[in-house]
Chain A
Amino acid sequence: MIVLWTDALIFMLISALLVLAFYLRGKEHIKRPLQKIVSSKVGMGSLIILLFFIFIGLLDSVHFKPTDTKNNEIISLLDAWATPLREHTEKTYSAPFATTLYSKEIILLADGAGQWGYPRLAYGGNYLNGAESEHLIDILKKIANGFAQSAGLMVFSLLCYLIIRRKVQAQQRDFFYFSSSVTVSLIVSFIIISMAYTLIHLSGYYHVFGTDKVGEDVFYQAIKSIRTGLVLGTLTTLIMLPMAIIFGILAGFFRGWIDDLIQYIYTTLNSIPSVLLIAASILMVQVYMVNHEQDFTSVIVRADVRLLFLCLILGVTNWTGLCRLLRAETLKLRELEYVQAAQALGVKQGMILFRHILPNVMHIILISVVLDFSALVLAEAVLSYINIGVDPTTYSWGNMINGARLEMAREPIVWWSLSAAFVFMFTLVLAANLFADTVHEAFDPRRNAE
């Protein structure tokens, strides 16, 4: 087992979340908004999708060195599981579900003569004999097969659950009773799991999203990109939170020269256009990495360090907004009666900050964390386009778009890389946006009052 930098931080983040959840369990002021989220249809539906993405991201975050391979590569749990997908590379482009390459080539026949035509793929549908009608029927058969398997499995587990519930809660009125948000989440999970299962089933026989320029499976690339997006969206927040919280609360609480200094710092940082600051910093990281090549033993380690740096830089450019919000809120809070009372009773200032101010700005922090997430995932794509995003060897939607962009000029065009990146990114960002809205609705006291 090998722990990369970002892996370590992700696991740290998850354990921090667990500790926080344990600490907050049973707290009445947290329970109420949480119940609001649980009873929201949109919120639960999007949460299921997010959890699914997070699950894949986590699978992709457990890295190890396989014992049986000769070359010295580090793979993740997801890679190990998707080994066929990873190793089924073709020569060059091929369309989704295709059995032949996308461009014509000279095929050597058995007698040594050349023929101009579409060569068969090495893996995609290689068991077919080539008839067009058979191809379509085979695809439909495989889809039906995969779908039936997954649907059957899920219906079975649902029935099991229902029977157990019946046994445990004998007074349950209706056998099939679910609240509306649970129904939505069940439907969403049914759709996701059956789709994922069918896709996985199919990808054993075909390239579901085609292959890219070097013949790599696009489906595999899109799945691998999930981790990059999640890492950027979450680790950046993890990095910026301490800065924003400490500076924001201190500035609002102590005012005076501390406030002036902190305001000066964030106005200065804010006045540099963030793209340029990111560009300048990434250039510097690149220079550093070129000059210290010996520190980065393998490609994956180097890409990982660069990803971490990107999170760091994005964190540094992003904390100012939250800091300003927290400062304003603290300014308001410190004049309230209970803080005044604590001060009059002689409670230490550190204690006031920790016990009275921090819990009461928590909702702002939470809301801004979920709101930032989708913006960061989108930013990654743009940054990769300007070549100041993640390492070119890292799988990311930005890199996929960037690679596919040039192919739009081709005739006929290669559209599948772009579509795959679009579908995955859109799903993740949409789910994140919808979930952020729900959280905002539930935790914002101003919206709660209505």
Chain B
Amino acid sequence: MIQYIIRRFLYAIPLLLGVNILTFVLFFIVNSPDDMARMQLGQKHITEQSINNWKHQHGYDLPLLWNAEKQGETKITQTIFYQKSVGLFLFRFGVSDSGRNIGADIKERMWPSLALALPTLCVGLLVDVTFALLMVLFRSSYLEKAGIVLCVTLMSISSLFYIIGGQFFMAKILKLVPISGYDDGLAAIKFLVLPVLIGVFSGVGSGVRWYRTLFIEEVEKDYVRTARAKGLTETQTLFLHVLRNALIPILTGVVVILPLLFMGSLIMESFFSIPGLGSYTIDAINSQDFAIVRAMVFLGSVLYVIGLLLTDISYTLVDPRVRLS
């Protein structure tokens, strides 16, 4: 087991290296720091001097990969690649283009994101699975048909409409909750209710459909027929047999996104002005802060790789049939 985990862990290293090189190519080779400076300064006639100033200020005035002017090891360390990309491996995110410490920002903004994403995931899962089970229970009846039609209809509506509509009716017309904002501690709950509700609702269509196919596949298997032949009621087979066996794909699907919950949801957070990592990223994209975007790309990949690792481990814990090799 330990050996397996270590091997999986080692497999993550080339992945992250790949991500790192990809972002490096994207941010520094496709467009040179000069281009970035010109974009940031945003004027038509920029002098060479102001570009150099900007580059020096943000630490972009170094060679990309190899600094021939320096001595010894600084030949490698005094380069953009070493300064900007290698540091990410040690979670040294550096300073954003507007001069803030990215690492500290991330630490602070992680928690609101989690406070929004975790309840959305849990409630969503509960609702989706319940409705999917109900649909399977009433399979090949008009009730199920109506359910499928409803699912497809809900799926066909853009999530933006759910958010705008929810904000409009719940917050503006009925005045049940504040439209947007955030507070520390328990006071945050009243700000989080609406986003969580909308998050759950906008995912219900595709979620229920997906779980339904999982259950339907399971329901037709032999062991379920045996269980029914033994005289178990439909509900008993559904909850004791089908649900337990379908839990494996459900759990592995959930585990892989667990670490990514820290990243938050981009649109939800920015619509409800929750100071999480999602809105942080959006702000960075809008103000074209390359340092933050780069840091978030890397962080997201790390979390995804951790998710993959956890999935592999959870497979072996949940399903005794899976043997590690």
Contact = CB atoms under 8 A, between A and B. Distances in A.
A265 B15 CA distance: 9
Contacts, number: 126
B156 A287 contact: no
B160 interface: yes
Given A276-B297, A426-B156, A434-B152, A290 B39 contact: yes
B164 A280 contact: no
B300 A276 contact: yes
A121 interface: no
A273 B263 contact: yes
B38 interface: yes
Contacts of A287: 31, 35-36, 39
Contacts of B263: 273
B105 to A, nearest CB: 16
B31 A276 contact: no
B111 interface: no
Contacts of B296: 276
B194 interface: no
Interface residues of A, number: 44
A433 B205 CA distance: 12
B156 A430 contact: yes
Nearest to A268: B18
Chain B CB count within 10 A is highest, among A276, A374, A422, A429, for A276
B205 to A, nearest CB: 9
B15 A280 contact: no
A426 B156 CA distance: 6
A288 B31 contact: yes
A150 interface: no
28 contacts: A264-B14, A267-B308, A271-B301, A272-B300, A272-B301, A276-B300, A279-B285, A280-B26, A280-B293, A280-B297, A281-B26, A283-B290, A283-B293, A284-B31, A287-B36, A290-B38, A291-B38, A374-B155, A374-B156, A386-B266, A387-B285, A408-B164, A408-B172, A418-B161, A422-B158, A425-B158, A430-B152, A433-B155
Contacts of B270: 386
B182 interface: no
A430 B205 CA distance: 12
B282 interface: yes
B6 interface: no
B158 A386 contact: no
A85 interface: no
A401 interface: yes
B304 A271 contact: yes
Contacts of A268: 15, 18-19, 22
Contacts of A223: none
B158 A418 contact: no
Interface stretch (A15-23, A61-69, A321-329, A377-385): A377-385
A315 to B, nearest CB: 16
Given A279-B293, A433-B152, 15 more contacts: A271-B308, A273-B297, A273-B301, A276-B297, A279-B281, A280-B294, A283-B290, A290-B38, A382-B160, A386-B267, A408-B172, A422-B161, A429-B156, A429-B157, A437-B152
Contacts of B210: none
Interface in B263-315: 263, 266-267, 270, 281-282, 285-286, 288, 290, 293-294, 296-297, 300-301, 304-305, 308
Given A381-B160, A401-B160, A273 B31 contact: no
B171 to A, nearest CB: 11
Contacts of A429: 155-158
A274 to B, nearest CB: 10
A405 B164 contact: yes
Nearest to A381: B158
Contact of A273 (B26, B168, B294, B300): B300
Contacts of B39: 286-287, 290-291
B22 A272 contact: yes
A270 interface: yes
Contact of A382 (B267, B290, B300, B305): B267
A193 interface: no
Contacts of A291: 31, 35, 38-39
A238 interface: no
A434 B164 CA distance: 25
Interface of B: 14-15, 18-19, 22-23, 26-27, 30-31, 35-36, 38-39, 152-153, 155-161, 164, 167-168, 172, 260, 263, 266-267, 270, 281-282, 285-286, 288, 290, 293-294, 296-297, 300-301, 304-305, 308
Interface string A252-270: 0000000000001101111
A406 B14 CA distance: 45
Contact of A378 (B158, B285, B305): B158
A266 B301 CA distance: 13
B293 A271 contact: no
A307 to B, nearest CB: 18
Nearest to A276: B297
Contacts of A286: 39, 288
A382 B305 CA distance: 25
B15 A264 contact: yes
A324 to B, nearest CB: 13
Contacts of A273: 260, 263, 297, 300-301, 304
Nearest to B289: A283
Contacts of B305: 271
Contacts of A382: 158-160, 267
A275 B263 CA distance: 12
Contacts of A425: 158
Contacts of B19: 268, 271-272
Contacts of B36: 287
B152 A385 contact: no
Q: Which 7 A-B pairs have the closest CB atoms?
A: A268-B18, A273-B300, A430-B156, A429-B156, A271-B304, A271-B301, A287-B31
Contacts of B158: 378, 381-382, 397, 401, 422, 425, 429
Interface in A285-331: 286-288, 290-291
Contacts of B14: 264
Contacts of A251: none
B145 to A, nearest CB: 11
A285 to B, nearest CB: 9
Contacts of B152: 430, 433-434, 437
A403 B89 CA distance: 40
A25 to B, nearest CB: 31
A369 interface: no
A216 B38 CA distance: 34
A280 B292 CA distance: 10
A277 interface: yes
B69 to A, nearest CB: 27
